[in-house]
Amino acid sequence: MWQGLDVIRTIWKFPIIIMLCWFVIGCQSEDLLHSDWKVYKGGPDANNYSGLRQVNKENVQKLQIAWSFYPEDEPEEFRIWKYECNPIVIDGTMYLTSAWRKLYAIDAATGVKIWEFDPLEGRRGGGILRGVTYWEGNGKERIFITANSELFSVDAKTGKLDSTFGILGRIDLNIAEGDQRETRVRLSTPGIIYEDLIILGAVVSENSGAAPGHVRAFNANSGDLVWTFHTIPWPGEFGHDTWPEGAHLYSGAANNWTGMSLDIERGIVFVPTGSPAYDYYGGDRLGSNLFGNSLIALNAKTGKYIWHYQTIHHDIWDYDLPTAPNLITVSSNGKKIDAVAQPGKTGFIYVLDRETGKPVFPIEERPVPPSPVPGEEAWPTQPFPLKPAPFARQSMSKDDLAAFSTSSYEANRKTLDHLWFEGLFTPPSEQGTLLIPGSRGGAEWGGGAYDIETGIIYINSNESPEIGRIEKIPTTTSNLSQSLYAAGKKWYATYCSTCHGPSKQGIEANPSLVDVTSRLSREEVLSKIEMGAGIMPSFAGIMKGYEDQIFAFLSETGKDEMISSIDPSTDTSSSYINVTAHGYFLDSIERPVISPPWGTLNAIDLNSGDFRWKIPLGNDPDLQVPGEPDTGIENYGGPVVTAGGLIFIAATLDGMFRAFDKDSGELLWEVDLPGNGLATPAIYEIDGRQYIVIAVSIGENLQHHKCGIIAFALP
């Protein structure tokens, strides 16, 4: 009898044992699922999310440097200030690019180099590249990397080119289709993989003469072009009638430079695009300009159009969609909706049904001011999401001015009083227009970190107003004269000032051209402009006949050498070009004119559209008022949210790496990096140990003053 009871007790325990086994296996499976960081931004959903829990709110203060890796290819004179790589990790190996575009495979537990590959073969390179793409298929494992206008397929185990891909391991991305103009592109963000396809966007010029920003898919095994989606539609394609006739032959940009998101189950790739060129004047592209400033849903296998949502009609503010959208699931009226959340530079988040593109929260088309510039026709309405509320300021009055001193405040007030502003979409003008949030405001390329457990998105933002002022640039000739220098200055204003600044001072990662002719010969300068370099496209077809003028302006010569010029009073075919946008609205000693915070971190519940919290991100102690909150500071890159209850983010120009409590926004940990961490972290686990890595830009405390990758872990 007692033996029978023992049997019954044993049998009764089986379900519990089985449940425990499944629980353990399930936990292990979850850990395995989240142990790698196989895709840029953590996964094809672009959610910047890690399911790892080893590092949590209770122990994050114990994090310490586990290892550092310094790429070996950067020359001593190399001084790029933004290194934005988000490394990927597969089976214990990390794949990353240097700021000089060399590809490295390193041991992700120790930082020891395994192999390296130089796509430029020792030539000068550089330019922003935020990561690489991994593909596994047909018995191969490949890493895809771009350099200049080429895509390379590299064996993930050996670092050798795959000779069966393209021509000896590479394909040229400068493709001319049929009788259309050649597409000249670079890439700053890695492509995305769907089955045996690698889908790529493009970086093109933002000035007149830019190439079109077509989206293309290539066979990952052979390199063959499989499909192309025209973001400036061709005749017979949907959206062609939103442009002037023939615009597909001369208009450019409307490109995806930010990366994409992929719904693998549905086979849909989500493609956000930037503004058409020129950024701030569209007199030659009247219309709403599909598919500029749009989130486009495409069949990932065929490239066929499914739906789109245009966030800006006829953009003349450079309000690109700056990041890949988050693929999310929200609860609305008791129903689960698979959706996509697209942050914008405007400070809006557009939440759309993933299958239909219909807004989850209401979006209103509201009237906006017309343009006063002759030949320009601003679109009469623009979309305004009602929820979530903007996460960046969209207006500014004298009450928002910083008050560092009475004289500074009064000078800024006078400037502000002379600027035209009638809301978010006030067109650039000859008078000068206040642009806020501005082209650097709102969301950055790092995008948002979406917590799949709670439905909350965490997103960093900049408060960076600008002044948009345009002037007439004559395009015909007459019997007047001007200096060689002045002619070069006009050419520069038309084609170069957007990226290198009106005073040649450089903008973001685009280098300063001040004294460039003391560093490079005339032949080297003109060759770079002709051939392109880094993310700069070729200007070969535009600079012909202007070589002397261009060099005169760059070398500050030719001011007394007169050539035929233009009479603006009799010119009838002038165009307009922006000369001050992309320039911060600063006071006389280059302090922000708007009151703090200048950078924020925001927590927004995408189920309700309500804010959970908002805090300043970063601090400038020199400008902080004693006793006041942190100032917030300019930031690039993005956050990562973890199942351990944490948000990890560097991003700020104060050189700090921070961890926040995701529930409250409380700062739990911070460390002073040896340079600025202007990238998105990557998080992974090897042999039961969790690592958090960040790419660090050049700083005085870095080894050899080079860029580097720094990994943190618990002791």
Domain-wise residue ranges, the chain: 2-35, 475-573
Query: In terms of DSSP bridges, do strands 610-616 and 599-605 run parallel, antiparallel, or are they unpaired?
Result: antiparallel
Rounded CA separation 686/6 (Å): 43
Rounded CA separation 77/519 (Å): 11
Rounded CA separation 499/382 (Å): 27
DSSP-derived letter for residue 495 is H
User: Degrees (nearest 5) of the Cα angle 452, 133, 103?
Assistant: 130
pLDDT at 167: 97
Say how many C-beta atoms besides its own lie within 10 A of residue 670's C-beta.
Answer: 14
Rounded CA separation 259/445 (Å): 9
What are the structure tokens assigned to 45, written together? 């959903």
Residues composing the chain: 715
Pick the CATH number of 475-573 from 1.10.10.10, 1.10.760.10, 3.30.450.40, 3.40.50.300: 1.10.760.10
At 20, give phi and psi (nearest 5°).
-65, -40
Q: Report the amino acid identity of residue 184.
A: R
pLDDT at 555: 85
- Contact of 678 with 650, CB cutoff 8 Å: yes
User: 603 pairs with which residues across the strands?
Assistant: 458, 613
- Contact of 619 with 485, CB cutoff 8 Å: no
Rounded CA separation 713/199 (Å): 34
pLDDT at 446: 96
Rounded CA separation 307/248 (Å): 20
Of 130, 151, 168, the residue nearest 143 (C-alpha): 151
Rounded CA separation 353/361 (Å): 10
Give, in order, the Cα–Cα distances in Å from 185 to each of 51, 151, 241.
36, 11, 25
Which regions in the chain score pLDDT beneath 70?
Answer: 1-34, 74-81, 124-126, 177-183, 473-481, 494-495, 497-499, 501-502, 506-510, 530-542, 544, 564-582, 699-705
- Contact of 440 with 462, CB cutoff 8 Å: yes
Query: In terms of DSSP bridges, do strands 640-642 and 49-50 run parallel, antiparallel, or are they unpaired?
Result: parallel
Cβ contacts of 509 within 8 Å, gap of 6 or more:
80, 81, 82, 127, 128, 535
pLDDT at 51: 97
Say how many C-beta atoms besides its own lie within 10 A of residue 623's C-beta.
Answer: 14
Rounded CA separation 664/57 (Å): 11
pLDDT at 524: 76
H-helix segments, 305-449 = 406-417
pLDDT at 20: 44
pLDDT at 306: 98
At 140, give phi and psi (nearest 5°).
-115, 155
Rounded CA separation 97/113 (Å): 12
What are the structure tokens assigned to 382, written together? 């623009």
